[in-house]
């Protein structure tokens, strides 16, 4: 049977490589790009590459099969021309979006590292390389697997759902473990950040210690991953921090960015802003955000159109109003709902109630609950047990009565009664008291300590300390021993001891008051925070005053000093924080209250009413 004549029109002969034919025995199904390239060349086809499974299907190996393939193509072309085919007369029926999707699938196959090297088509080698301008890539070229590009842009193929956080130096100096606080997201460190870390590593301050710790952490991560993997990112969970599932990237190449001329290029903050801008332009498929504790730097970043965030992992609460108060008011219909299921029993001088219902979902261990309604007896109790939807309430000792006074001090309101119940309970190892000025925090803590040290002999002595943060200008170095140096900071201790000594020995004469003062002073030791590291307090009653000025790290250092039989009382007013860069949400006092909430041997109460004087109460409200 004679072969049909070849096509007579110039340029209508089809090329095997353009059609993507790898096996001549396979049925011929022309692609969309091949159909449209018969009469008009397509720019999208120039970037198309054909992945060959092996050497036997390369262009050189298929040269002996070209005549048979050409015959088959000529036969199909002539038969379609005889029936007035629509290949050359009508455009492709597929939509442009479908055609783009079909072409985009080819580079995806090439990106498989197990596949062999792709071979360029004849049209790409002859047309694209001649017509494309230097430095300009075709549409499909960014998705082509190139080892050089992958090394220069390690997070180009990262998932769009994860973010890339660029850390400022002050974040690492504030929290050296901040690298592991970003969960599945990636972290990027500009080179200028490493330079600033190196400049802050000298000294004995908290900032210098954090800088050295951050440098050791970075060195450990680099040692675990090896030098060859720095460009591809270091896994943050390599040192055992399983909560960090992202990668750490260092700046390993200069980045091109353009900042306004009003921002000096030599300043470190502006260089970090330039890195964030360059990364945002390079990785448009993911969120690139700068994390900094510097408010002005975040403002400048937002003015440049960059995403800037504050490091909030150190903040226990976003709002101080959400702090656990330690007390809960029961609803007015509480007894009505509990009338059929409530159980009660007596144990010594205390009454226990077993209650249930939805209200118990709000309870915490050692939380105080109270019921006050007109015409009904009040209830003041503490939650001592929670099992499922039931809870056990234990009534309190009434310290508002003078016969239950503590070293001559009786509770004047509901919250003070709650606080004295915690302070006098030997099963409570940690008590936190917060409240405004004049609510009686220091007075009650000292009175409870004197009773349990001198009368009940439950503890051997009282140790009192506080953060030495001045309200105004520092007066300089103080002479004397440790206790003499701490004397000016312990004015609150002297004032309260004077009141307590007067109340206890008021009828003993001047000699009796002097003896009482001497006895009290002998059982109270004043210590400085600077020398607490490494100590262990056994059977001591420790009072930490002005705890709102402590950082979470300092609070942890103090609480972990407690040995067997030691009770620690933390007091503070979150509205009077004098430590720079410390807020209500990041204070060590807030940290302790939130972390020990619900612990069976810890309790907290917020004192609401001031009892110092009417002048102090009014000033606390209006000033």
pLDDT of 364 reads: 94
pLDDT of 475 reads: 59
CB 574 within 8 A of CB 598: no
Virtual CA dihedral for 451, 557, 471, 299, nearest 10 degrees? -140
pLDDT of 318 reads: 63
Give me the number of domains the chain comprises.
4
pLDDT bin (cut points 50, 70, 90) of residue 314 is confident
Same domain, yes or no: 618 and 500: yes
pLDDT of 538 strictly over 50 = yes
The answer as to whether 1 is a domain residue is no
pLDDT of 145 reads: 36
Q: Give the end of a domain, one of 261, 278, 309.
A: 309
- Whole-Å CA distances, 277 to 42, 264, 291: 36, 15, 13
Tell whether the torsion through CA atoms of 55, 59, 64 and 68 is positive or negative.
Answer: positive
* Interatomic CA distance for residues 546 and 578, integer angstroms: 10
pLDDT of 143 reads: 38
Q: 493: closest CA among 435, 544, 529?
A: 544
The two most distant CA atoms of the chain are separated, in Å, by 139
Torsion-angle region of 149 (φ positive above 0: left; ψ -120 to 50: alpha; else: beta): alpha
Cα 186–chain centre separation: 13
Tokens of 219: 């060195």
The answer as to whether 449 is a domain residue is yes
pLDDT of 254 strictly over 80 = yes
Residue 617: phi, psi to the nearest 5?
-65, -45
* Interatomic CA distance for residues 545 and 571, integer angstroms: 5
The set of residues, in sequence order, having a beta carbon less than 8 Å from that of 327 and lying 6+ positions away, is 367, 368, 369, 370, 414, 415, 418, 605, 606
Q: 549: closest CA among 431, 468, 435, 464?
A: 468
CB 139 within 8 A of CB 44: yes
Tokens of 292: 């900094």
- The domain containing residue 198 runs over which residues? 164-309
Better pLDDT: 244 or 521: 244
Calculate mean pLDDT across residues 457-478: 77
The answer as to whether 603 is a domain residue is yes
Q: What is the mean pLDDT of the chain?
A: 75
Same domain, yes or no: 424 and 382: no
Which DSSP helix (H) or strand (E) runs through 297? helix 295-303
Better pLDDT: 72 or 500: 500
pLDDT of 264 reads: 86
Same domain, yes or no: 118 and 243: no
Residues 554-588: tens digit of each pLDDT? 899 999 999 999 999 999 999 888 887 788 888 99
- Sheet containing 164-167: give its strands across: 234-235, 247-250, 186-189, 164-167, 288-291, 307-309
* Interatomic CA distance for residues 604 and 598, integer angstroms: 10
The answer as to whether 39 is a domain residue is yes
Highest mean pLDDT among 1-15, 66-80, 129-143: 1-15
The answer as to whether 143 is a domain residue is no
Q: Give the end of a domain, one of 274, 309, 344.
A: 309
pLDDT of 315 reads: 72
Q: 581: closest CA among 194, 173, 167?
A: 173
pLDDT of 566 reads: 96
Same domain, yes or no: 485 and 539: yes
* Interatomic CA distance for residues 546 and 465, integer angstroms: 9
- Whole-Å CA distances, 84 to 89, 184, 556, 576: 8, 59, 87, 91
Tell me the CATH number at 543: 3.40.50.300
CB count, 10 Å around CB of 284? 8
Same domain, yes or no: 577 and 475: yes
* Interatomic CA distance for residues 217 and 469, integer angstroms: 30
The answer as to whether 155 is a domain residue is no
pLDDT of 134 reads: 37
């Amino acid at each position: 049977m004679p072969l049909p004549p070849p096509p007579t029109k110039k340029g209508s002969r089809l090329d095997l490589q353009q059609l993507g034919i790898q096996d001549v025995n396979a049925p011929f199904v022309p692609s969309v790009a091949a159909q449209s390239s018969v009469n008009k060349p397509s720019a999208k086809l120039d970037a198309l590459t054909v992945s060959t499974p092996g050497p036997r299907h390369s262009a050189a190996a298929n040269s002996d099969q070209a005549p048979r393939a050409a015959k088959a193509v000529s036969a199909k072309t002539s038969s379609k021309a005889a029936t007035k085919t629509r290949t050359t007369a009508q455009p492709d029926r597929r939509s442009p979006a479908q055609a783009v999707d079909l072409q985009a699938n080819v580079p995806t196959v090439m990106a498989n590292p197990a596949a062999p090297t792709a071979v360029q088509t004849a049209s790409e080698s002859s047309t694209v390389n001649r017509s494309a301008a230097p430095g300009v890539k075709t549409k499909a070229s960014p998705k082509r697997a190139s080892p050089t590009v992958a090394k220069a842009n390690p997070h180009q193929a990262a998932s769009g759902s994860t973010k890339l956080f660029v850390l400022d130096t002050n974040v690492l100096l504030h929290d050296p473990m901040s690298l592991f606080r970003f969960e599945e997201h990636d972290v990027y460190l500009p080179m200028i950040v490493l330079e600033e870390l190196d400049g802050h590593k000298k000294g004995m301050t908290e900032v210098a210690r954090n800088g050295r710790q951050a440098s050791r952490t970075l060195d450990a991560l680099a040692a675990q991953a090896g030098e060859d993997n720095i460009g591809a990112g270091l896994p943050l969970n390599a040192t055992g921090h399983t909560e960090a599932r992202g990668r750490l990237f260092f700046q390993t190449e200069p980045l091109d960015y353009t900042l306004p001329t009003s921002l000096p290029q030599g300043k470190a903050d502006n260089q970090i802003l330039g890195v964030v801008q360059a990364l945002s332009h390079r990785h448009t498929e993911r969120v690139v955000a700068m994390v900094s504790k510097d408010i002005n730097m975040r403002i400048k970043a937002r003015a440049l159109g960059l995403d800037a965030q504050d490091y909030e992992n150190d903040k226990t609460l976003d709002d101080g109003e959400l702090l656990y108060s330690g007390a809960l008011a029961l609803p007015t219909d509480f007894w009505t709902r509990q009338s059929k299921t409530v159980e009660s029993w007596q144990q010594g001088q205390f009454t226990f109630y077993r209650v249930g219902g939805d209200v118990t979902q709000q309870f915490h261990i050692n939380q105080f609950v109270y019921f006050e309604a007109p015409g009904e007896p009040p209830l003041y109790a503490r939650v001592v047990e929670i099992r499922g939807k039931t809870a056990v309430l234990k009534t309190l000792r009434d310290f508002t009565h003078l016969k239950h006074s503590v070293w001559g001090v009786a509770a004047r309101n509901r919250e003070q009664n709650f606080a004295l119940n915690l302070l006098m309970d030997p099963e409570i190892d940690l008590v936190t008291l917060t409240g405004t000025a004049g609510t009686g925090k220091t007075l009650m803590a000292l009175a409870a300590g004197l009773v349990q040290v001198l009368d009940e002999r439950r503890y051997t002595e009282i140790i009192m300390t506080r953060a030495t943060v001045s309200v105004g200008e520092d007066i300089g170095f103080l002479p004397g021993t440790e206790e003499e140096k701490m004397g000016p900071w312990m004015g609150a201790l002297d004032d309260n001891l004077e009141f307590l000594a007067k109340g206890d020995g008021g009828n003993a004469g001047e000699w009796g008051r002097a003896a009482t003062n001497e006895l009290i002073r002998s059982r109270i030791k004043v210590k400085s925070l600077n020398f607490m590291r490494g100590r262990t307090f056994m059977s001591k009653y420790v009072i930490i005053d002005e705890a709102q000025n402590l950082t979470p790290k300092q609070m942890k250092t103090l609480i972990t000093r407690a040995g067997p039989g030691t009770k620690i009382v933390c007091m503070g007013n979150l509205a009077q924080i004098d430590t720079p860069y410390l807020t209500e949400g990041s204070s060590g006092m807030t940290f302790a209250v939130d972390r020990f909430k619900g612990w069976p041997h810890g309790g907290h109460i917020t004192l609401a009413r001031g009892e110092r004087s009417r002048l102090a109460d009014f000033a606390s409200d209006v000033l």
